[in-house]
Amino acid sequence: MRVLVTGGGGFLGQALCRGLVARGHEVTSFNRGHYPALEALGVRQLRGDLADRDAVVAAAAGIEAIFHNAAKAGAWGSYERYHQANVVGTQNVLAACRAQGVGRLIHTSTPSVTHRATHPVEGGTGDTVPYGDDLKAPYAHTKKLAEQAVLAANDAALATVALRPRLIWGPGDNQLLPRLVERARSGRLRLVGNGENRIDTTYIDNAAQAHFDAFAHLAPGAACAGRAYFISNGEPKTLRETLNSLLRAAGAPEIEETLPFGVAYAAGAVCEALWTLLPLRGDPPMTRFLAEQLSTAHWYDMAPATRDFGYVPQVSFAEGLERLAAASRSA
């Protein structure tokens, strides 16, 4: 099958491309840059911006299914940049599906679309957890709008599904883990609250597998069509155990120091004001949204994904740590 992956050069994007090629599909990736790793896989690469509708429509010519994985992520930045990438970009992908007769769309969303301050999510599903109503982060807000557009587009001509993988990690991660390691080594990493809130994470191979499983079952009228699903390893652990396990595997020092939620939240508000008013580079070290996320329980029930498209995590948290440690030693 001829498949288009948006953002195929990223961490999850490359895993999707590898898996699709291994399954015998003809894969094209729509990226902002050029990636030697994709070239080595034999993936056809098209360079362009998701906000350019004509470029996205052209990229979908002859395509039978799209994995819409590209997005602007992060904890900080102008709302307009997030809106262009995540909302306008998704609208353009949907327009490309209509214009080129693409029949299946697998959309990579995020659990952040359901964020509601410090309201815990414990064992929730895509059907039981409502969308967030006070999303302070532009990433979460724009991804919510994007997911809603994708699900609303589901019909007899275009089957759509949204997957919400929680905190993807593993060998090859060039975003989450490197930031954690750098902050731990510099002594700037803290647990918000007591660190005993339980959270879910997703090993990279499991995140990709969920996409492949949904792809295999997705069709007009299928049980998963028009629905959103939380995706994780299904092994909730405390934030303290999760972070320190990842840091150990990466050869970085563990953390024990904590920061009260109230202090972290206030610091986040101050940082947001400073980064808004002053020409400061990089992301602020704390935001209100991040303080809420780090101090709140977030874990999910995988039963709907198992029931509707057969998703069962194949790599356990412990095995993933072993693979991460081996990759870190050989780096």
Q: Which residues contact 264 (CB under 8 A, 6 or more apart)?
A: 190, 192, 286, 291, 294, 295
Distance between CA atoms of residues 26 and 307, nearest Å = 28
Residue in 35, 82, 131, 139 annotated catalytic? 139
258 phi/psi in degrees, rounded to 5: -120, 160
DSSP letters, 28-52, are EEEESS--HHHHHHT-EEEE--TT-
| Residue 203 annotated in active site | no
SS3 266: helix
Helix and strand numbers (H, E) in the chain are 13, 15
d(CA 92, CA 321): 38
CB atoms within 10 A of CB 128: 12
Q: Which residues are catalytic?
A: 139
